[in-house]
Every structure is written in structure tokens, then in C-alpha cells.
Structure 1
Amino acid sequence: MKERRDIRVILVLSYIFLATRAHGARITKGRENVSHILTYQHVNKTIVVEGGDTYDCVDVYLQPAFNHPLLKDHEIQMETSSFPIGLNAKSSIQHVASEAHLSIVECPTGMVPILRNSRMDQTLAHNMFQVNNKDVQVEEAGIKYFHDLYGVRATINVYEPKVKKNSGDLSETGIQIDNGPKGHVDSIVVCYSVSPSSYGDSFARFHVSWRNGMLDKTCVDHDCPGFVQTSHNVGLGGRVQPVSVYNGPQYVINILVFKDPKTNNWWLAYGEENKPVGYWPSSLFTRLSDKGKFSFWGGQVAGPTASSDSPQLGSGHFASEGYGKASFMRNIQTVDESNKLVTPNEYDNLVGTSDFRKYTVDGYEVNNHGMHIYYGGPGNLV
């Protein structure tokens, strides 16, 4: 039980910084950096997508990533040198749920879409607060795994859990790969999240983040330099659509993060066709430049009231309700040192929840369909 209660994996710490308001907090100027980037770079085209999000199409060689001092002379890698071996193996339950889509922004070839975050600017304006960890409450449910890792993969059921609008909390589901000692962890996270306090809406939005533990800094999407996008039409920070309906149609996103064996860059691909989105250059990291040592698959709620007045996680229903009612992850795999996709050793996993009264994990199994789990719950919104 101690191991279960010790699951305290922060998936997207910087999102907590964006969404959380606390006494004694100090204002940061992170958003000013984004405005500066877009002001001084050549914007080829501006596109407003459904829902009101505004994207600027920026030359791929002038995107925010190259404002990072470590990437000044970086030579962009436009394609992966290879994909993990075994990626084309098809699951017999592949089409039980339909594939959801990330926000598609039709920038011209050679450009990448950068979210202007106008909605966030309007709703948060001057309310961007940075807080200490002691101000942040965290709850989660899922699988954690300690092993040498060169990639992680999963098919993720997409819902829009309920989060109180003015709570400052968020609810998110995703995959994570880490390396480093406590307090100095390098991390990569890919997830969807619902964060009304950040975006002024309750939509599921797709995000990527990375952290250099030595520098004690976490970045989300393009909000600060680091992630190099190569896709000209995937809008980070945009909506995931459609989303699943309780006891109705189910939708998923397929996510793969893996280390390129030739360049050592960490690539992100999505969808059944594993379309590359971009990569994190190996030079951004201290310990992840070599390999990962920890992975997490599951969901998390975080913020100033995430434990005391917890939002929903996943579908908002307990794991025991099963398919079509509880959220699930399947096709859970890792990439080994031979660049092969493998199923994690089920006896080395730690499966559990931080508070079984609010969130549960069930249906954990490894069979012909791979490794899979059900997870989630109502929190305090019962």
C-alpha cells in the first residue's frame, strides 16, 4: 500500500505554474517571452481555427526552439532516421475505438504553427503565478515502471473530465519518461489536459512538455524554447476532437516518444500512422541525453485544491465500470536499447492510486492485446 500511496509523479509541472494561484506567490513573465518571439520573427500567415484559437505560421528555422542558447547552432532534423522495430504490429482490438484528432492548422510547407494563446492572455492577463511545490496538491492513478528506457508508447482514451472553472486545478492524462535523482529530474511528458483556469474553457487540449532537472525549469509546447517542431499542421496546445462519451462512442489518441538511435534526439509521433510532430534535442537534457530510467502511464489532477476538492480524472467514473464508461490505456509499451518495442515486465510495474476513494485502477492485465488498464474517478465531484 505504501508503494501505491507514494505515486507522486508530476506530469506537467509548468502547467501547475500556469493554473495555480496561491498566497505569497510571485508573478512571472513567461508569457512575455512568447510575445517577443512572435514579434521579431517573420509570421507568414495567421490562422484562427474552430473554437477561436489563433496560430501563427512561422518559418520552421525561426521557430521559438532556436532561441534556446543550446540550440543556436543546432542543425534541424526534419525526419527520423528510423522508427522502433515492431511498430507496424497491429492489435486485434485496434478499431474498437475511433481515433481522435489533434488540432490541424494548415500552415504552408516549411512553416510550423505556433499557438498565440490569445484566449489564455484574455483569461489570465496578469495572473500568471509561480508557486512552490508545497502549494500544489496532486492526486493520480496509473502505472509506474523503473527500467532502462529508450521510448514509451500508449493508446490513450480521450475524455473531458470536469474541473471547476475558477479552482486553478487541472486534470490530465498522458505518458512520461524521466531520468535523474529527486529534485533534479529530466523529464518528457505528452498528454491531454483540461485546465479552465488556463484557457477559459473546458476542452481537452494536447500538450508536450520537457524539463531539465539541473536548470530547474519546465517548458510546455512552445511557451519557451526547446521543442523543435517539424510538422507543418499539428497545433500544439489545441483541442483534441472528438472526445469519448460515457456509455457511447469512444475515441483515442496513439502516442509514441522514442530516442532516435543515430541523432539521440527524442522524437514525438502520433496517430495510427505514427506521424512525426517534432523532437527534443538531446542537448536540452543532462540525464535524458542518455536514456530514461522511469516511465508513467495514467492520469493526474494537480493544483491548489486537487486533493481537498478534487476534480474528475479520465471519464469521471471508477475503473471498475470497464470499457465505454471508465477511461483506459492500452498498447502500453517501451523501447529497449536495441530499438525494439517491448511490453514492460508486468511484475516490475507499480500499479495504483494516490487515493482509492476518489480514483481507482482496475483491469490491469497483459494478454494478446498487450498491457492495458482502466483508471479514473469522480474525485470530490460525486
Structure 2
Amino acid sequence: MSDPSRLARRSLLTGGAVLGAGALAAACTSNAPKEDAAATQNVASGGDNDKPGAKVTIGFSAPAADHGWIAAIAKNAAAQARRYSDVTFQAVQPTNDINQQISAVESLIAKKVNALVILPNEGKQLNQVARKAADAGIPVVNLDRVFPDKLSYRTWIGGDNYGMGVAAGHYIGRKLKAGNASNPVILEIQGIATLPLTQERSKGFADALATYGYKVTARQDAKFTVESGNQVAGNLLQAHKKIDAIWNHDDDQGVGVLAAIKQAGRKDLFMVGGAGSANAMREIKAGGVLEATVTYSPTMASSAVRIARLIAQNKGMADLVEQEVPQSITLASETVTRDNVDRYLPLGFES
């Protein structure tokens, strides 16, 4: 992800148009109660592959839903599975404890499920148990945080972390360049600094800014939580009396970041968010400090369940010529602004 020549790439989620259309339709036409509608808004249907086939059991493991994006991951996965009469969905207790997640996945292996969808707390630490599943003949769909050993998973699906940074860097770089900014103060608030996905986001951001002759002035991580976002932002605001722009990696922690900015009464800056939460999009629509967010959609969980079902049933993807599901699928990172926010708002998750 470190090659600057990749700045212009645009990754493609196969069937993304179908996914988006299905999600929009669900959001606009559902007669379900509000909570149920939110849980099912990011599901999709399409093609003969959706016709009932061999009955399969799909196991699912993810971290605890301690913030909006992870909560949306779990809801989307379960909602997608409910669409299929041939799928039994077995979700284990979500946890942020590595050893507990390993034990939970081992329980699914012991039950001999037909496929596994795993969003690991940390890819390296869960790699061994994923490999155990693969060696037992259970295909693993690795969601988001990647296992380092490709033999540990059949297919990986996730967001374009480098592309997120690139998108944020281009938005900030273009705006500052248009304003003839010289030596601007650009701050970056990461999620968890030790995660490879965070490092890829930072690399993309730095590479994009460099094309405008800019660089990050200060960087600090905020652990993906509202509380840490508020504390980190407050410290950065005190340390920098002049700020031109902030890129915040995560819209969940962005709730705290925005609160700190508003409390400090700072109007000398603009901010770009990350992931595409509904509350961030509402802030963008209202106008103010938050001008944009770059997507990292939890719809990937819906797609992961669909992919696991196809693999377990020995099917390929209907829109592809190839007979089998691809080894990796990367979602495109899209920039949401006031100009296009109404189109993306139905797909936003609640922080």
C-alpha cells in the first residue's frame, strides 16, 4: 500500500451497484419498525444466486459492538443471512478479548460449520485459529482486518484504507491549495495507531498531501472511542492556536472530536471525517466545521455473508465470467460532501 503510483487507483466492489440499489430500496420502502429498518438497510438481492440452494451453516465472529461501525457490521451480517432460507446463521458472543474470540471461533470449527465470516480483533493474533479452520476444510471469509497468512482465509473483503487516506488528503489538499495556503497546519487523528489499517490510512493521507506540497503537522490516535476523540482533540486544539484542517479517521470517535471543536469555539479550521456515519452526514448537510467524510462502509458485512454462502454452495459470482468467488474484494472509498450527501445518507450507520 506504500507505492505512491497507487494514488489514482479506484478499487471496485463487484456487484456494488446492486448492493447500493438494494440498500437504498430497503431504506426507502421498509414498513418495519425504525430499529428493524436500520438493521436491514444494508442488504441486497440479485440474480439466480439468490434462489434457494443447498442448506449451509455460516458462523460469524466479530469484536464487541462498542461503537456504531462495529454494531452496524453485526446488524448487516445478521440481516443479510435472514434473507436466505438456505442459511443457518450462527453468531458467537462478540468480544474484545483476543483469547475469548479464539475460543469462540474454535467452537464454530468444532460444530463443523460450512463457512466462517471473521472480523478479528487483530489479524495477527487470530491468524492461527483462522488457519485451523481452513486446514479443517472450512472456508474463511476474512472481513476487514486481514490475516497475514493467505492460507488462513479463502476470501478477504474490506475497505480501501489507503484509499481513505488518499481521498481525505485530496479533499484537504485541493481546498488549501485553492486558498493559496502556505505551510498550513494539518492535524490527523487516527483510530488505533498499531493496526495495519490505520497505518495504511496515514500513508495514503501523507502521499496525497505530498502531491500538493503539504505534510501532516501533528498526528495522534484516539482509539475509535468518543471519549478519546474528545480528549485527543481537546489537547491538539490547545497545542495549536492556528489550525487549517483536521482529518479524523473515524466518525464514531469524531462525535467527541466535533464536541471538542465546538466547545473550544474554533472556527479557523475545517474537518474531514472517515467511515460515513449518518450523524457525520447530517453534520455535513447542516454546514459547519465538518465538510466531508470518506466512506468505509459496514455494508462489507452484508457482502461477506453473501460471499460465504456462495463459497459454501460452490457457486461463483453471477456478474463474473470466472467460476469461483475472487480471493479479495476491496470496497471503493468515496468522498461524501454537502453536494452529494443526500445520496449517501440512507447508507449511513448511527454512531
- The interval holding the TM-score normalised by the smaller chain is under 0.3
Output the TM-score relative to the length of structure 2.
0.24
In proportion to residue count, which structure has more strand? Answer: 1
In proportion to residue count, which structure has more helix? Answer: 2
The structure with the largest alpha-carbon Rg is 2
